[in-house]
Amino acid sequence: MLQFEGQGSAHTCDGVSRRDFLQVGTLGAAGYSLAQHAQAKEQGLVADGNDQRSVIMIFNLGAPSQVDTWDMKPDAPAEIRGPFKPIATNASGVEISEIFPRHAEIADRISFVRSCYHTSAAVHDAGWQMMQTGRQFSGGVETPHAGAVASYLQGRRTDLPPFVVLPQTMGRGGGNLPNGQAGGFLGKSHDPFALNADPSKDNFQVPDLLPPADIGTVRLDRRRKLRDLVDDTVKSFDASDNAKLLDSNFETAYRMMTSAQAREAFDLSKEPASVRDRYGRTRFGQCCLLARRLVESGVRFVTINTFLTVFDEITWDIHGSKPFTSIEGMKNDVAPMYDQAYSALISDLVERGMLDDTLVCNLAEFGRTPRVNPAGGRDHWPQCFTTYFAGGGVQGGHVVGRSDPIGGVPDERPCDPGNIVATIFKSLGYNLESHLPGPAGRPFPLVDFGKQPIDELF
């Protein structure tokens, strides 16, 4: 939430006094200039011709069971195969679970990767880190989210931030680890803009588009130039990192609050009721619709968290015992809203001619144990799981990789988080051999050595 302090003064960590200090909470992702973007192209970091491509990353927080969703094992014993049957899709030879009938109708747009794995701990937030950044954090170094890299390399297209998270960043995961949804060593200016609101609510508004009630537009305009807010006697502060971050955050806040384009993009009331119904009036459904509107308005990278935490709501985390749900509970509580919203998003992007320029990737932190546990659920299993992709240059309608007969380990074409993130960067046209300015200014490889994209998808 934006907060303007009207009277008095504030202090930075350097002890510098400032008048009318502007605090920006959820609002980051200031991006960078077109000149820097051109420089990135000149240096070969970003390919020509891909500047219109965007990404919608759907992160299935809690981790779906591969055996009950996209990689069914109908010939395995009952304690492995679970209660659901596979159904044919409109993609030749591709079968998925019966609990996703609408996915089956658009499977020719989707390609499934059934041989994903990672070697980190079977803890939610460890998987969140790896799958969104391509790396496990170590030595105090937080690798930036793929969307933060897009913000750094390409910046904003419009008044909207380049990197947005809906409906908010992830909560607790059990390991007390950073969740990977930040700018990391690239800095807070490349943190995402987090909505921090539920777009399915009747009174939905975006907090950071609303100027504080005690500041009118005239006063807001007077504050536009951050230089006027700094004590004239403190010249050294102007050149400090604090001042630069504050200045970019102020400009971002000002542009957002005064931009008709930003207000329009976030205004779901502009959508016909039939379109909102098509996506489903759930939080996830309306986030998918909002993601389409944001990409349509120029946002480069949108991450949708299907759920916010594994502790306070029913999610994909189907351990079976309370407060978690069972495999059957997933069918009744999770699958219908997810199936409706995702299929609506893909179909809508196709109808609007946007899918070719929009990569939609569906990720999760790990899979579930092949064997059903005594409580009627499945537990954490990073050794094998499924991700899937549509649009953004991906050729739909086929399967990459294969798991073993019980969905326990990859049997063909294993893919780890580095391969997944490299695939996203390939769709965006980035030079995978380039480097980012890492901690202490040291070059930091865009992807780990040897991590190649999943070329079979393209």
Cβ–Cβ < 8 Å for 138, 439:
no
Hey, what CATH topology would domain 38-210+267-457 get?
Answer: Alkaline Phosphatase, subunit A (3.40.720)
pTM: 0.86
Whole-angstrom Cα Rg for the chain: 22
User: What is the per-residue pLDDT for 302?
Assistant: 98
Nearest Cα to Cα of residue 64 among 385, 322, 295: 385
Q: Please report, to the nearest 10 degrees, the dihedral formed by the alpha carbons of residues 92, 118, 56, 90 taken in order.
A: 10
Q: What was the pLDDT predicted at 259?
A: 81
Chain CA centroid to CA 329, Å: 26
Q: Identify residue 67 by its one-letter amino acid code.
A: V
Q: What is the pLDDT of residue 250?
A: 56
- The span from the CA of 78 to the CA of 74, in Å, is 9
Reduce the secondary structure of the chain to three states and give it as a string: CEEECCCCEEECCCCCEEECCEEECCCCCCCCCHHHHHHHHHCCCECCCCCCCEEEEEECCCCCCHHHCCCCCCCCCHHHHCCCCEEECCCCCCEEECCCHHHHHCHHHEEEEEEECCCCCCCHHHHHHHHHHCCCCECCECCCCHHHHHHHHHCCCCCCCCEEEECCCCCCCCCCCCCCCCCHHHCHHHCCEECCCCCCCCCCCCHHHCCCCCCCHHHHHHCCCHHHHECCCCHHHHCCHHHHHHHHHHHHHHHHHHCHHHHHHHCHHHCCHHHHHHHCCCHHHHHHHHHHHHHHCCCCEEEEECCCCCCCCCCCCCCCCCCCCCHHHHHHHHHHHHHHHHHHHHHHHHHCCCHHHEEEEEECCCEECCCCCCCCCCCEECCCEEEEEECCCCCCCEEECEECCCCCCEEECCECHHHHHHHHHHHHCECCCCEEECHHHCEEECCCCCCCCCHHHC
Rounded Cα distance between 65 and 73, Å, is: 12
What is the reported pLDDT for 210?
Answer: 62
Tell me how far apart the alpha carbons of residues 23 and 329 are, in angstroms, rounded to a whole number.
Answer: 43
The phi and psi torsions of 241 (rounded to 5 degrees) equal -65, -35
Q: Is the Cβ–Cβ distance between 183 and 193 less than 8 Å?
A: no
Classify burial at 340, counting beta carbons within 10 Å of its beta carbon; exposed 0-12, middle 13-18, buried 19 or more: buried
**How do the domains of the chain map onto residue ranges?**
38-210+267-457
Q: What is the mean pLDDT of each run of 10 residues along the chain (458 residues)?
A: 37 38 36 51 61 96 98 97 97 97 98 97 96 94 97 94 97 90 96 96 83 52 52 48 52 70 93 98 98 97 97 94 93 97 98 98 98 97 98 97 98 98 97 94 93 97
Using CA atoms, how far apart are residues 456 and 458, in angstroms rounded to an integer? 6
Tokens in use for 204? 């939905």
Which of 129, 238, 136 has the alpha carbon at shortest distance from 178? 129
CA torsion sign for 9, 13, 15, 16 is negative
Burial, 338: exposed, middle or buried (Cβ in 10 Å; 0-12, 13-18, 19+)?
A: buried
List the Cα angle 146/208/213 in 5-degree steps: 170
> Which residues make Cβ contacts (< 8 Å) with residue 355, sequence separation at least 6?
109, 346, 349, 390, 391, 392
Handedness of CA 258, 259, 262, 266 (dihedral sign): positive
Q: Which residue type does 216 have? A: G
- Tell me, what's the pLDDT at 379? 98
What is the pLDDT at residue 224? 52
Per-residue confidence (pLDDT) for residue 11, from 0 to 100 = 41
CA distances to 120, 131, 325, 382, 399 from 379, in Å: 15, 19, 11, 10, 25
